[in-house]
Amino acid sequence: MHRGRRSARRAHAPPSELGLPPIHERSIAADPQAASPLYNGFIPPEIRNTIFAAILTEYTPSDPSREYPLSVRRPGYTGPRTTNVAFLLTCRRIYLETYHLPPQLAEHVFWHAPSTGPPGLGDQFPDIHGSAHEADYFARFTPWQLSFVREVKLFTQMYWLDDDFANVCAGGDVPASVERLKITVRRGDWWYNERHHPFTVNPHRGRSLDLAEYNRDVAREARGETIPWAANGWGGALQRLPALKELEMEFETSVDRQQELEKVVERALRWKFPMGKRGMLSNKGLGMESSKWQSGSESFCVFTVKWQLLQP
C-alpha cells in the first residue's frame, strides 16, 4: 500500500516513538487563531470543514514515472496515492480539527493476489492466499487511527474471494470500524477466464467454481427458494464486519462478453446479505450502473452494484 506525503526528513522521532501521547490526547489548550481568516468568523465552520476535507483527501500525483503498468492501471487507479498530512502541522487548532481525517477519508486499497497489484507487491507478499497485505498495512496504525478507518477496497481474484475472504473477516485483519467495503472483480479475475469459462459468482457457497452446483442454485432462486448462507461463504462472512453499512461490487469483463456477464449481475441484484441482528444488506431501490473504459486497444465494461444496510 502506498500512502501519504510525510515531511521529507524528520528532525525528531514522532511522539508515539518517544512514549508520549498524541497531541489530541494531551490537555494543552490550542491557540484560537482569531486573526486567521479560517477562524475570525467570516467562514462558517461547515465551509471550513469542507476545505479541510478537500485538502486531506488523497490524490494521485501527476508523475508519469510512477504510473502503474497497463496490467494494473484502471480508472481511478493509475498510480500511488498520497495525502497532504503536512497540513496537520499548520497549528494545534487545525490539527485538533483534522487529525482523524487522513485515515477516515482514505480508501485503503489491497490487491489479491498481491502479484496482480503494483510492481513489487507480489515480491513483498508472495503468498497468494491469506491477508498478509492487510495485516502488514494495518499493523502500522495506532489504535486511534484504526478506529477512524471507514473504507476498504479489494481488487480480488475469484479464488481469493471464495477461499480466503471469510477467514480475513473472522481473523480481524480488516478493522472493525469499516463501514464501506468495495470489491472489484477485474476482467482477468474470473475463474479460468483465459479458457472462456462461464462467469460464476456465488456468495452463498465457499466456492463458485462448481458449475453444476452454481446452476442448481440459480434454478432454486428462480423458483423463489431460499439458499442457505454457508459459514465459509464470502457473503455470509460480511456480518463479521460489525460496522459495515454498504457493500459495492464492480464486475468487469471485455465488451465481447458484456451480455453474458450482465445476466450474472442481474442475479446479484436479488442478493440479501445477512448482517445478524443489524438486518441485511439489500440492493432495494439501487439497481446497477454500467460503464465502459479503454486500455490500449482493449475495451472493457463494468457493472457496479451496491447493497446498503436495511435494519429489521
Indicate the pTM of the whole model.
Answer: 0.89
Residue 7 has pLDDT above 50, yes or no: no
- Mean model confidence pLDDT for the chain: 89
**Going by C-beta distance under 8 Å and a sequence separation of 6 or more, which residues neighbour residue 101?**
52, 53, 56
User: pLDDT category, 215, cuts 50, 70, 90?
Assistant: confident
Query: Which of 244, 256, 128 has the alpha carbon at shortest distance from 183?
Result: 244
Q: How far apart are CA 295 and CA 281, in angstroms?
A: 33
> Are both 143 and 266 inside the same structural domain?
yes
All three cell numbers of 142, joined, read: 495506532
Predicted pLDDT of residue 143: 92
Q: How far is CA 73 from CA 67, 95, 299, 306, 310, in A?
A: 8, 34, 13, 23, 34
Residues 129 and 265 in one domain: yes
What share of the chain has pLDDT > 90, as a percent? 72
The pLDDT tens digits of the residues spanning 164-185 come to 999 999 888 899 999 999 999 9
Q: Are residues 41 and 142 in the same domain?
A: no
126 Ramachandran zone, left/alpha/beta (phi>0; psi -120 to 50): alpha
Chain centre to alpha carbon of residue 182: 4
Q: Which among 60, 79, 102 is the end of a domain?
A: 102
Residue-wise DSSP of 10-45: -SS--GGGGTPPPGGGS--PPP--TTSTTTSSSS-H
Which of 102, 121, 137 is the endpoint of a domain? 102
**Total domains in the fold of the chain:** 2
Q: Does the N-terminal peptide bond of residue 11 adopt cis geometry, omega within 30 degrees of 0?
A: no
Query: Among 12-21, 85-94, 164-173, 295-304, where is mean pLDDT lowest?
Result: 12-21
96 with 147, same domain: the answer is no
State the Cα angle at 152 between 282 and 109, rounded to 5°: 135
pLDDT-based confidence at 95, cuts 50/70/90? very high
* Rounded-to-integer distance, Cα 234 and Cα 24, Å: 38
Q: For position 50, what pLDDT does the model report?
A: 97
Expressed as residue numbers, the domain containing 17 is: 1-102
End-of-domain residue from the set 102, 137, 152: 102
Same domain for 120 and 91, yes or no, is no
Specify whether the CB–CB gap between 250 and 292 falls below 8 A: no
What pLDDT is stored for residue 17 in this prediction?
54
Is 231 in the same domain as 199? Answer: yes
Q: Cell 480480488 sits at which residue?
A: 156
Q: Do 216 and 86 reside in the same domain of the chain?
A: no
pLDDT of amino acid 8? 34
Residues 155, 225: one domain? yes
